[in-house]
Amino acid sequence: MPSKYKSPGTRALILACVVAAAATGTFSEGSVRLIAWGGAVALLATLACGARSAFWIAPAAAALAVALLATGHPTTLPWIWVLPLCLHPLRGRMGLALNLAAFVIGVGYIAQHFSLPATLLAATSLVIVWLLAQEQRLRAKPLLNREGAQWLLPPAMLDTDARHEQRRVERESLYGEVVIFGCAHSTPSDMQELSRLLYDQLALYERAYRLNDYGIAVLLVANDAKLAEQRRHQLQHAIAPHRIVSHTPLAHLGDRFARYRPRRADPRREAQPWP
C-alpha cells in the first residue's frame, strides 16, 4: 500500500524490539537465546508482511517481552521498559487494564531483584516511558474536538471522496467500502459517544462523515476484502453498544450518496430581470 498507510512509529517499534531481542540472545544462552532469536525472526517476518500484519505487531512484541521476562534471566530486565511501548496503543478499558497490570507486574518483578530505592526509580522511569509514548500518540493525531462531532467531514464530501477512492482502488488493485455506523439510541448523547469512540479508533487516513443526527459513514480502504472485513469487525467491537448499519463496496455505490451533494443554484433564478 502507499507509504501513508504505514506507521513510522510501528516500524520503529519493530526495529527496536528486533535489536533488543538480538542483543538479549547474544548475551544469554539456552532457552533465553532460543526465545529471543526466535522472537526477532518472527518480528522481522511481520515487518516483511507490511500492512497485512500491522495489527499484530504490538501484541507480538508484548508477548515476546513477557516470554523473556518469564525466564527470570537478568539479561531480560530491559524488556520491562519495552512493555509500555508495546501496550500503549491499546485503548479502552481493556487497554488501560493491561497497561496497569503490566506496570504492577513489572514493578514487582524489579522489587524481587533490587533494593527499594532502585525499585522506586524503576517505577518512576516506567511511568515516564508510558507518558512519553502517550504524548507521541496524541501528537500523531490532530487536536480536534472529539467530544462532539465537529471533527466529522460534511456529507456533501462523501460522494466525491468515494468516487475518487474508487478510481484509486481500481488503479492500485485495492479494496474500498463505505461503512455506516448508527447510534444505539437516537439521542444526542449517543451521537457524541459514537463520535468519540470512532475518533479514538480511526487511523489518520480513514475519513468519517456525519450523514445525519444519528449516523456516521466511514470510508475504509484496505489491501483486499478480507482485511477490510477484519478492520470492520475491529471497529464494530470498539464502538459497542453502537452498531454497523451497512457496508457497501465502492464498486456498488452508484449514486447512493449523490443526494448529499450541494445543490447548485439555478442560473435563471439568479439572473436579474430586465428593467
Q: Which CATH class is domain 156-260?
A: alpha beta
Residues 176, 165 contacting (CB under 8 angstroms): yes
Return the CA Rg of the chain.
24
Q: What is the pLDDT of residue 263?
A: 60
Instruction: For residue 230, name the pLDDT band (cuts at 50, 70, 90).
Output: very high
Residues 119, 93 contacting (CB under 8 angstroms): no
d(CA 33, CA 38): 8
Q: What DSSP character marks residue 153? A: B
Residue 162 pLDDT exceeds 60: yes
Instruction: For residue 268, name the pLDDT band (cuts at 50, 70, 90).
Output: low
Task: Please report, to the nearest 10 degrees, the dihedral formed by the alpha carbons of residues 243, 208, 8, 92 taken in order.
Answer: -30
pLDDT digits (tens, 9 = 90+) for 26-35: 887 888 888 8
249 in helix, strand or coil?
strand
253 in helix, strand or coil?
coil
Q: What is the pLDDT of residue 220?
A: 92
Q: What is the pLDDT of residue 4?
A: 36
| 196 burial type by CB count under 10 A (0-12 exposed, 13-18 middle, 19+ buried) | middle
Q: Look up residue 62 and give its amino acid.
A: A
Pick from 176, 170, 238: nearest CA to 202: 238
Average pLDDT, the chain: 77
**CA-based torsion, 227, 232, 236, 238: positive or negative:** positive
- Grid cell 531481542 is found at 21
Q: pTM of the prediction?
A: 0.48
d(CA 185, CA 143): 28
Residues 182, 213 contacting (CB under 8 angstroms): no
Every domain range in the chain assigned CATH 3.30.70.270: 156-260
Q: What is the mean pLDDT of residues 245-265?
A: 77
